[in-house]
Structure 1
């Protein structure tokens, strides 16, 4: 009898430990890229080129769930980006990190740092490696030239996400988000968003997302002027005032898998259109992406090729600041978790008679675990 009780206790502990044990996952993605950057016009002149070793979205994470009751689970995820090539001062950077609850009736709630719901409908971008750059809207502090595109969806700190439960026979997924920026005081610095994805598994999808003061949230410095229009000075220096800048963003997406309708043509087409209305912008930023991806069958291993075109007008809400980008590339799957990449592309941007160009060709190896 004692042996039976002991065996039952060990089995119960084993089940409990198994439920509590997280899944460890991640990927290492390293590329070698030849990059040529040029900036011309006015008093600006910059031309640099060379080979770079880049870590592309490498990460490690821990995720899991454990029953809280018969119908509710505790869910969690801790995911961190890793700078494998070691050229960043911050080796680890948190990505999606949250604690939440999942219920079959009420859906799933996540609190922490979450990818914004605008990204939930983005199944159009196919670029990889160096050119997976949707969202570089302005030059960085240490960059003289950058490949610029429309505003993208990012991870929102201090946020809560609700994903509505899925119902049989209803091919839509709804999600909503609330975010609060603790760097600012006041209700005006909160934001929210929502997305709706239609996918009935028939070879086509449609998505629609709207957000306010989430991904467009940032600080903007404005020069201060006196009542007579002259610049305000302190100790002989111009005075600037920092203001909170937010805005509204709406995005729509659609994809079409031609293989569903013609098995001899394995091509997936995608289109994305977006408008971003910055609070302190001159005009709405408008952009679109079109992409195509095709599977290849004449290789020993699975392979795909892809092409993507990005076009943006009034970048960051600045009138006449435009860019376009074209990229082609391919992937070769040595195994499902070991993928070779190659790509070539160019981004052109112009503003106030200043033209910037970024050309890059490269490739690398991605390992998933």
Structure 2
């Protein structure tokens, strides 16, 4: 009997060596929030939010000495039973190949490189149902039907990574698009990122070309746009201010020359109703957005305090609108996996004369596994 068990154990070890098991991972992030003027019409709401909770599997397996397969499949989890993501809806997922010391090719649906260029020290309220920068500025898209390439972090200069993805349009035209999006590279997202932990410096420049996105101030979605984003952060621990990190982001977005700019002149919603905007909204439409943030990890304690200010101004011939948000947060980190946190933030619309501010405050808990 012992020999049988030993043989089974040896066989299972051999199987594990040949086929690496996938990693199960996830994040549950639940918060209790009070939202004053939730609908921008003066009505308040108490919310239990799931904040982009998720579960997934990922892994890689060696095929030859120089090539391996990589994969990921991730689903949204509505911990509160509702939320911005439909329960078990598709998040990041891909299948690809990893070439030793060169880079990786991935095909599927996953965050644009424009989006991921904003790291943890730019979008400090990332995933928050109310406060994520996707609520104020263009560029926070997860793109379907893409093939992407990412260089190895040591291919060019240590810490420097170049990434580019091409989207197959598959006729995913929006209400503001007249061009068939049915070819390789109907949309392109790219970034050049540098991360040097020894220097405490991280920076990136990213671009979108013909990528559909939202202009929040005008409630417009699916606008084919060209955009550039520049981000950066610096850890002042390297110069004697231990625990302090400053981060910033700037971006410019405008509809692609064709067809979005022309088709926007009609400015109708999905039901064919006019949006009530100036008819010239399709002329010279652009959005300029920026943010600054500070994060301070209090030395020898589990406490972190952080603050952020962000602004997005949308302009067109005939008008402009501005969205502003400022907020502060406090984290209590039990360990690398678990944190409790509190937030207080306010958004402001400059084009509304009444009920122009929405205030969010609450407490939450996040657990990563």
Q: Say yes or no: TM over 0.5.
A: yes
Quick check: 1:249 aligned with 2:227? Answer: yes
Cα 1:39/1:366, change in 2 over 3 Å: closer
Question: Secondary structure of 1:11's match?
Answer: helix
Q: CA deviation at 1:14?
A: 2.4
The number of aligned residues is: 322
**Which residues of 2 match residues 129-144 of structure 1 at below 5 A?**
129-136=128-135
Quick check: 1:177 aligned with 2:174? Answer: no
Q: CA deviation at 1:12?
A: 5.4
Cα 1:186/1:305, change in 2 over 3 Å: closer
| Structure 2 counterpart of 1:70, from 65, 70, 93 | 65
Contact 1:213–1:247 (CA<8 Å) still a contact in 2? yes
Q: CA deviation at 1:106?
A: 3.5
- TM-score, normalised by the number of residues in structure 2: 0.79
Cα 1:161/1:217, change in 2 over 3 Å: farther
Unpaired stretches in structure 2, ≥5 consecutive residues: 173-179, 216-220, 262-281
Structure 1 residues 257-305: Cα deviation after superposition (integer angstroms, max 9, x where no partner): 111111x442100110000112334421000010000001364xx1211
| Aligned equivalent of 1:197 | 193
Q: CA deviation at 1:121?
A: 2.0
CA distance in 1, matches of 2:140, 2:317: 16
* Higher Rg: 1
Q: Which has the higher contact order (CA 8 A, sep 6+)?
A: 1
Contact 1:247–1:277 (CA<8 Å) still a contact in 2? yes
Question: Secondary structure of 1:216's match?
Answer: strand
Unpaired stretches in structure 1, ≥5 consecutive residues: 41-45, 137-148, 219-242
| Aligned equivalent of 1:240 | none
Over the residues paired in the alignment, what is the CA RMSD in angstroms?
2.9
CA distance in 2, matches of 1:29, 1:178: 32
Contact 1:31–1:56 (CA<8 Å) still a contact in 2? yes
CA distance in 2, matches of 1:320, 1:355: 19
| Structure 1 counterpart of 2:108, from 109, 112, 115 | 112
Return the structure number with greater strand share.
1
CA distance in 2, matches of 1:73, 1:324: 45
Contact 1:176–1:194 (CA<8 Å) still a contact in 2? yes
Quick check: 1:125 aligned with 2:153? Answer: no
CA distance in 2, matches of 1:318, 1:217: 20
Cα 1:334/1:352, change in 2 over 3 Å: closer
Contact 2:213–2:222 (CA<8 Å) still a contact in 1? no
Cα 1:16/1:298, change in 2 over 3 Å: closer
Q: CA deviation at 1:194?
A: 1.2
